[in-house]
């Protein structure tokens, strides 16, 4: 994808709140770097979030001094609120943001935006958790950051590695589709945006960064992490209930795989389901015996079934029925838990009947009865998974290469043009902008709200 020479290619937002000490020096450093490193037209937008110190005046002064700097002033606080405003109103092809303390080395900025300018990716994030990243920060922040990202990956099954690094970029056409769906106006904005983007089948590029913690940072990492966990629960609930229309978003802009995996036939499904069932039954038996050491029979049965049900649904979704669409994973797990509830009723009823017929039966007798009941419940699961949970995917295969199936803005077989400033034939993700010869200028603007 190429852009006219008089268009704005990159808009780098700098959200600030009471940053009078760092704002002037940091923005001048950013301006100098962009001038030296980028040939494509760019600008810097300072987004003042209702600062109560001298931040607003400093932002206005910078905007008056440099034609490539714009200052806007918001009446409310919140990094998410600032980015929503800047990114939705920006005319640039790619919108980005950096933290005002410039903790992330700016040398990562060209590889961050290159895959977006080329059309190779939809979003790009800096990551401090890659093996090649170089990070300097205290143990407390390190543990909280890694713990939060681990929880995020396990709870919502996301693949991006670092949700919180203040160094991100997104194509404007993609941002305009995603941002109206993002509810959070604070620190969780980044995470929510990434979750929705990944669920919608968008491509997220990651760039290892060099990052040095700012010891003077005013961010309360514990309170932020607590709010982020609440945000995770809200977003997960919204995806499951359909409040966030992941399916419609995927149809509009999601990237589909080059080859659509077809689900196996009925016989293949039976064989694969049987294999998954054998493993699940063995896992259930082991878990039941372990739980029985500390819990009564009914509670042990419930917990063993719950743990194996989650793993069973995941395995059957992927291997038995060939479903790989990530946007429906949470809904399928919810339906799987409903099926689990029916299976639990079957096995619980078997315990009730055993207690009536043979009072005082030991754990091993209970296990034999429960295993038999679990096999019956497994048959019930197969029927329900096939005719209810994964029914819509049995005939949903799309012919490979069908242009009608391609998301908006994604070429089916058309080569992607390199961004301005690259040589033909070079890889988009290896692009480094050349030294500029001229940068279009515009009158300094100060926007207030």
251-293 pLDDT, tens per residue?
899 887 655 445 567 877 888 888 887 888 888 889 888 888 8
What pLDDT, on the 0 to 100 scale, is given for residue 237? 86
- Of the residues 190, 214, 402, 429, only one is catalytic, namely 190
205 neighbors 169 (Cβ within 8 angstroms): no
User: Lowest mean pLDDT: which of 7-11, 17-21, 214-218, 369-373?
Assistant: 214-218
Query: Tell me: the pLDDT tens digits for 375-428?
Result: 887 788 788 888 888 875 544 443 333 333 333 333 332 233 333 333 333 333
Q: How many helices (H) and strands (E) does the chain have?
A: 13, 10
Beta strands at 167-171 and 123-127: parallel, antiparallel or unpaired = antiparallel
The chain-wide mean pLDDT, for the chain, equals 80
92 neighbors 43 (Cβ within 8 angstroms): yes
252 token code pair: 């509009």
Candidates 198, 389, 245, 229; CA nearest to 312 is 389
In the chain, what is the greatest distance between 2 CA atoms, to the nearest angstrom? 90
Specify the higher pLDDT residue, 304 or 427.
304
State the average pLDDT over residues 319-329: 75
Residue 312, pLDDT > 60, answer yes
All residues at 6 or more sequence positions from 151 whose CB lies less than 8 Å from its CB, including other chains: 229, 232
Q: How many CB atoms lie under 10 A from the CB of residue 80?
A: 22
What pLDDT, on the 0 to 100 scale, is given for residue 221? 61
The top-scoring range by mean pLDDT among 7-21, 241-255, 286-300, 305-319 is: 7-21
CATH 3.90.550.10 intervals, the chain: 10-256+419-448
Distance CA 200, CA 21 (A): 40
The top-scoring range by mean pLDDT among 95-109, 274-288, 426-440 is: 95-109
Tell me whether residue 190 is one of the annotated catalytic residues: yes
Please give the CATH topology (third level) of the domain spanning 10-256+419-448. Spore Coat Polysaccharide Biosynthesis Protein SpsA; Chain A (3.90.550)
């Amino acid at each position: 994808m190429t852009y006219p020479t008089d268009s704005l290619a990159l808009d780098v937002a700098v959200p600030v709140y009471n940053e009078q000490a760092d704002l002037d020096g940091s923005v001048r450093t950013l301006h100098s770097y962009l001038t030296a490193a980028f040939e494509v037209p760019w600008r810097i937008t300072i987004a003042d979030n209702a600062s109560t110190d001298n931040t607003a005046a400093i932002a206005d002064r910078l905007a008056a001094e440099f034609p490539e700097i714009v200052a806007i002033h918001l009446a409310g606080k919140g990094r998410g609120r600032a980015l929503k405003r800047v990114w939705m109103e920006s005319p640039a092809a790619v919108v980005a943001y950096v933290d005002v303390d410039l903790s992330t080395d700016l040398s990562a900025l060209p590889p961050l935006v290159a895959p977006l300018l080329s059309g190779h990716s939809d979003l790009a994030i800096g990551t401090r958790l890659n093996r090649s990243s170089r990070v300097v920060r205290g143990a407390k922040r390190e543990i909280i950051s890694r713990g939060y990202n681990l929880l995020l990956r396990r709870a919502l099954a996301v693949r991006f590695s670092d949700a919180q690094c203040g160094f991100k970029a997104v194509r404007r056409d993609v941002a305009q589709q995603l941002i109206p769906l993002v509810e959070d106006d604070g620190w969780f904005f980044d995470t929510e945006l990434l979750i929705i983007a990944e669920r919608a089948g968008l491509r997220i590029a990651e760039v290892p960064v060099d990052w040095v913690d700012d010891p003077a940072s005013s961010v309360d990492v514990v309170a932020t992490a607590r709010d982020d966990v609440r945000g995770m629960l809200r977003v997960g609930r919204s995806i499951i209930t359909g409040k966030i229309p992941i399916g419609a978003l995927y149809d509009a802009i999601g990237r589909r795989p080059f080859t659509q995996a077809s689900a196996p036939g009925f016989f293949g499904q039976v064989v694969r389901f049987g294999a998954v069932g054998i493993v699940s039954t063995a896992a259930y038996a082991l878990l039941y015996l372990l739980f029985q050491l500390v819990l009564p029979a009914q509670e042990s049965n419930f917990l063993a079934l719950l743990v194996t049900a989650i793993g069973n649904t995941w395995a059957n979704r992927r291997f038995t029925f060939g479903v790989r669409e990530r946007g429906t994973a949470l809904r399928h797990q919810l339906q799987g838990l409903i099926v689990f509830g029916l299976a639990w009723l079957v096995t619980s009823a078997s315990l009730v009947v055993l207690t009536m017929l043979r009072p005082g039966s030991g754990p091993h007798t209970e296990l034999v009865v429960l295993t038999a009941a679990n096999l019956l419940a497994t048959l019930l699961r197969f029927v329900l998974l096939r005719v209810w949970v994964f029914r819509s995917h049995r005939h949903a295969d799309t012919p490979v290469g069908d242009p009608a199936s391609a998301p908006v803005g994604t070429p089916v077989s058309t080569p992607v043009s390199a961004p301005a400033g690259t040589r033909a034939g070079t890889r988009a993700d290896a692009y480094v902008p050349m030294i500029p010869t001229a940068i279009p200028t515009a009158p300094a603007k100060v926007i207030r709200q």
